[in-house]
Amino acid sequence: MKKTIGILGGMGPLATADLFRKIVLMTPASCDNDHIRVIIDSNPQIPDRTRAILEGGEDPVPQMLSALENLEKCNVSCIIMPCNTAHYFIDRLREHAHTPFINMLEVTAKRCAALFPGKTAGVWGTTGTLKTGLYTRALEQAGVKSVLPDEKGQQVLMDLIYRVKGGETLKDRAPLAELMADMHAAGADYFILGCTELPIVVEQLNPPGDFVDPTAELARAAIAFCLE
């Protein structure tokens, strides 16, 4: 019996669409029937994860569990979440799940170790993701060195992330270029796009550099899980 991917999405909707697109493009298929069945619950009503982590905002887990329940009713074979910050809550979700989760941060860290051995990753993400150390721990476990943006650089990232969430098309590359130069000076050799809006930022602004896209790594891991 063929396996099915379940996407616990909506955080945000464009990032969810980006993941689905990457699954389709990366699947080795010569016709429709060669593709993997994908069930998507894109729930944009899930409360903001960064606000919940840093400001005591509304807990997103109840809405996430609702989506999880819907996916499991569809008998999905694995569950993936196109939201790096949401992985802060993954252990709480796993307590209720009967289906394996594929951890976006873990597969990204392993990919970094394979692609850039001995190099230092510059980690981009939401303030919630970076302040909780989600990526730092995952990278350390994979033996990958990393550096984070300074406060000014983090403000640039959050501005870009929320402008994409708001549906804006970005055109001014200068703030991102300055951030990259500062992080290169701090030791970064390449950059992890550790928020699912950031691959869209890079696609729109097309800055020169080496990047690891966790959305693509999650797609690759889910495809491998289903085709093994």
pLDDT in tens, 163-195: 998 999 999 999 999 999 999 999 999 999 999
Residue for token digits 């060669």? 34
Q: Give the confidence band of 59 by pLDDT, cuts at 50, 70, 90.
A: very high
Residue 1: per-residue pLDDT: 76
In this prediction, residues 67-74 reach a mean pLDDT of: 98
Domain ranges in the chain are 4-103+216-227, 105-214
Question: Which is the catalytic residue, given 78, 112, 195, 226?
Answer: 195
Residue 79: per-residue pLDDT: 98
> Is the pLDDT score of 94 beyond 90?
yes
Cβ–Cβ < 8 Å for 187, 147 = yes
Between CA 33 and CA 65 the distance in angstroms is 31
Residue 130: per-residue pLDDT: 93
In this prediction, residues 77-84 reach a mean pLDDT of: 96
DSSP string, the chain: ---EEEEEE-SSHHHHHHHHHHHHHHS--SSGGGSPEEEEEE-TTSPPHHHHHHH----SHHHHHHHHHHHHHTT-SEEE-S-SGGGGGHHHHHTT-SSPBP-HHHHHHHHHHHHSTT-EEEEEE-HHHHHTTHHHHHHHHTT-EEE---HHHHHHHHHHHHHHHTTPPP---HHHHHHHHHHHHTT-SEEEEESTTHHHHHHHH--SS-EE-HHHHHHHHHHHHHH-
In this prediction, residues 43-69 reach a mean pLDDT of: 96
> Is the pLDDT score of 106 beyond 90?
yes
> Is the pLDDT score of 228 beyond 90?
no
If one looks up domain 105-214 in CATH, what number appears?
3.40.50.1860
Q: Quickly name the fold that domain 4-103+216-227 has.
A: Rossmann fold (3.40.50)
Residue 123: per-residue pLDDT: 98
> Is the pLDDT score of 155 beyond 80?
yes
User: Is 195 labeled as catalytic in the residue annotation?
Assistant: yes
Shared fold status for 4-103+216-227 and 105-214 = yes
Q: How much of the chain exceeds pLDDT 70, in percent?
A: 100
Question: Which is the catalytic residue, given 78, 83, 112, 226?
Answer: 83
